[in-house]
Amino acid sequence: MGDVTSQLSVSLDGYVAAPDQSVRDPLGRGGLRLHEWAFATETWRAQHGLPDGERTVDAEVVEEMTAGVGAYVMGRRMFGGGEGPWDPTWTGWWGAEPPFRAPVFVLTHHPRESLPLAGGTEFHFVTDGPEAALARARAAAGDDDVCVAGGGETVRGYLAAGLLDSLWLHVVPVVLGGGTPLFDGALDVALEPEKVVAAPTVTHIRYRVVR
């Protein structure tokens, strides 16, 4: 059985998304700055079907994070949904060929048929809670890792429940002043930094969750 991993880009003031989020601007005003480090990398661009890109230490981190992942779990908002029932024609934020290229289990209260898309991504909609979604992802991943893809609340929930084995934080030196906090209260969790990668604009820290 593989690890359950996750990764988040976080601002210096602890936010994983900026203020004024909307359906058109899900990362909030200025929130894209948290992810700019990844956009230029060869690895990220290849996952998104784009050519070129740079072979940087950031690219190596993206590659390491995704290489062993056999399935993903994500929250409904990260797939691209509001709080109501699904519009059956809506296929999420991620376009016709999403970058996951593996089964993705989406946490939701509204049942929906599974949604296979081009490139190997198939979204499955799970209505019986985070542990059930993780169990299904583990079964799909086999010996590979399961990655909790986000958003911040979903990752925090798995971390608080003791279900994560490791967590990459990409510490981005911006100060957002508000938005979605990575944490929203004290959390009794023991994290040990086990790998640190210094990149030009961001610091990548992989934590091991100690039980």
Q: How far is the CB of 161 from a second copy (least distance, A)?
A: 14
Q: Does 51 bind a second copy (CB under 8 A)?
A: no
Nearer to a second copy, 98 or 179 (CB): 179
Where in 167-196 is the site for a second copy (CB under 8 A)? 169, 171, 173-178, 181-193, 195-196
- Residues in Cβ contact with 186 at an 8 Å cutoff, skipping those fewer than 6 apart: none
Question: What DSSP string runs through 83-144?
Answer: SSPPPTT---TT-SS-S--SEEEEE-SS----EE-GGG-EEEEE-S-HHHHHHHHHHHHTTS
- Tell me if 31 sits within 8 A of 85, measured CB to CB: no
Round the CA-based radius of gyration of the chain to a whole number and report it: 16
Q: How far is the CB of 24 from a second copy (least distance, A)?
A: 21
Q: Does 161 bind a second copy (CB under 8 A)?
A: no
Nearer to a second copy, 87 or 184 (CB): 184
CB under 8 A: which stretch of 41-49, 104-112, 119-127, 197-205 binds a second copy? 197-205
Count residues near a second copy (CB under 8 A): 35
Q: Does 107 bind a second copy (CB under 8 A)?
A: no
Q: Is 177 helix (H, G, I), strand (E, B) or coil?
A: coil
Q: Does 200 bind a second copy (CB under 8 A)?
A: yes
The residue from 21, 56, 91, 203 that contacts a second copy (CB under 8 A) is 203
Q: Does 120 bind a second copy (CB under 8 A)?
A: no
Residue in 107, 159, 151 with CA at minimum distance from that of residue 133: 107
Nearer to a second copy, 71 or 169 (CB): 169
Nearer to a second copy, 130 or 179 (CB): 179
Q: Does 14 bind a second copy (CB under 8 A)?
A: yes
> How many CB atoms lie under 10 A from the CB of residue 80?
16
Q: Does 40 bind a second copy (CB under 8 A)?
A: no
Tell me 40's DSSP state.
T
The backbone torsions φ and ψ at residue 7, rounded to the nearest 5 degrees and listed phi first, read -160, 140
**Which residue bears the tokens 């070129």?**
52
What type of residue sits at position 137?
A
Positions that interact with a second copy (CB under 8 A): 10, 12-14, 169, 171, 173-178, 181-193, 195-196, 198-203, 205, 207
